[in-house]
Amino acid sequence: MTRSGSNLPSARTTTGDLTGAWDGDLAVFRGIPFVAPPVGDLRFAEPQPHPGWVGTRDAISGGPCSPQPASRLEPVMGRPDFEQDEDCLTLNIWAPPAGDGPYPVLLWIHGGGFITGAGSWPFYRGAELARSGRLVVVTTNYRLGALGYLYMRDLAGDKPGAANRGLLDQIAALRWVYNNIVAFGGDAEAITLAGQSAGGAAILAIMADAGARRLFKRAILQSPVAGPPTSIDLAAAICTELVDTLGISQSSAAELRNVRTDRLVEAQTLAIKKLARFGAPVAAIQQVADGTIIRGGLIKSACEAASSGIAVMAGTTCDEMNAFLMQEATRYCDRGQALTLLGAAGLSEFSESVFDRYSRSLPLESAAKVASAILTDRHFRIPTVEFVDAWSAAGGSAYLYRFDWKPKPDSQYGACHCIDIPVALNNLQDWQACPSRPVMLERCDPESFRGVSRSFQGAWVEFASSGRPEYPGLPFWPQYISSNPCSMQFNVHTRLDVDADGYLRDLWNGGIN
């Protein structure tokens, strides 16, 4: 990476030359295409190599995000201004000054249930993380919803992974970073994959791919949605719903390629509603167990990589499901309504006994908060603990955490899903500048925020640099092993808990499976 004649940062990649911009001492490159635009005949194709460009490409503005509906969490985390377009496969880079590197690299994959989100969103800006950690930070977009994960036999043909185009986009971005990041001062042999929610689930799937897992050394999984991927049969049923809504032939991939983008997004939304399960953290249109790139359960498949030397840091927030259940429709439910909600979430066989155990452990909380605690553990904490336990048992290095910090003591959302993102990125001002303000951060104490961000972001930086989250000021954080299942509890006063999740065995009547 060099300064161009106009004193702007420039870089030479395998697809062409780029000019970026300065953000203080950081070089910033936005909207870099890493594959060919997935438009026209490529709408449902696997990612194809970019043909490159002649001359120098301006990489100052972020690219549009994949077409999408409004997020379910928009009322909680806010909504940034953003453009949507199918020509969305771009990434963004924040790099420290050349000369002191090569620097460790962190590639972050956004969440949004595989339906919403974008690495180009302004409140996912990676500048402060790059600056604090002397890291090269990369964020990426990928195809969402039907564009990224619709399974249609006529579309898939015999091509491996064709049902998981969004996942293939992520792997293509990782491969581009591996092949090009040296031009930005990064170390291609020190790449950390980080992902939140659906992004964490994507990393589990990437780990299972033998070709992809050789491209990175470490992984940070924030609130990974580690439940089962969609089966081929359900994926085919979703496609039937969608094409019926559109009024086109069941077997005509050509017709589907020509549907207007807005109609496709509208039809996908209707199909998802018909097949939705209450409380599910991802929609029905998501990663598909196609027998090729995703061969079965995410945790079991990911643990095939445990002996490869990849180090893992994984954790959840304390009150994940508050982001979903503390919205107006469910915030004031009583015990009977809470049990109905749990039944709708697939817990009807033992919802009452589990609910009563949680109620006794949370005597001062509302029925909605009790239901939220149950679904938080069921969808997030239990799978995450199961993953680090299996990873460790298979010989991998793992560190477990829980994020307990909340912006104010009486926050109705608490330490909810997504609240750890601004803390890890240390970019509170970017979130507060959103046109639709994030109520999960309402009346946030800036001093408290800065304190927890120092330790949480510091652990990320140290882990990305060395594979060990040994940040000064944190208690000693041992690797997770089943005989010593320690978890770092991040809060204003961060502490290490030994057997912090033992309570789950009692609340779930002796087991957490």
Which positions are catalytic? 197, 320, 417
CA–CA dist 3, 27 (Å, integer): 10
- pLDDT tens-place string over residues 492-504: 999 999 988 888 8
- pLDDT tens-place string over residues 37-66: 999 989 999 999 999 999 999 999 999 999
pLDDT category of residue 512 using cuts at 50, 70 and 90: very low
ω before 102 within 30° of 0 (cis)? yes
CA–CA dist 43, 260 (Å, integer): 11
CB 271 within 8 A of CB 238: yes
- pLDDT tens-place string over residues 233-260: 888 888 888 988 998 876 666 788 889 9
Kindly state the average pLDDT of the residues 107-126.
Answer: 95
Kindly state the average pLDDT of the residues 450-475.
Answer: 95
Q: What is the pLDDT at residue 329? A: 66
Cβ contacts of 403 within 8 Å, gap of 6 or more: 315, 316, 317, 318, 415, 419, 420, 423, 456, 490
Cβ contacts of 115 within 8 Å, gap of 6 or more: 68, 69, 71, 144, 145, 268, 272, 282, 283, 285
Is 155's pLDDT higher than 70? Answer: no
pLDDT category of residue 161 using cuts at 50, 70 and 90: low
Domains and CATH numbers, the chain: 72-80+96-225+286-507 (3.40.50.1820)
- pLDDT tens-place string over residues 302-340: 998 898 999 999 999 999 999 998 886 678 888 998 888
Average pLDDT of the chain is 91
Task: Take residue 150 and report the two structure tokens written for it.
Answer: 């619709």
Q: What is the pLDDT at residue 404? A: 97
Q: What is the pLDDT at residue 511? A: 47
- Could you tell me which of 120, 65, 112 has the C-alpha nearest to residue 94? 120
Q: What is the pLDDT at residue 365? A: 87
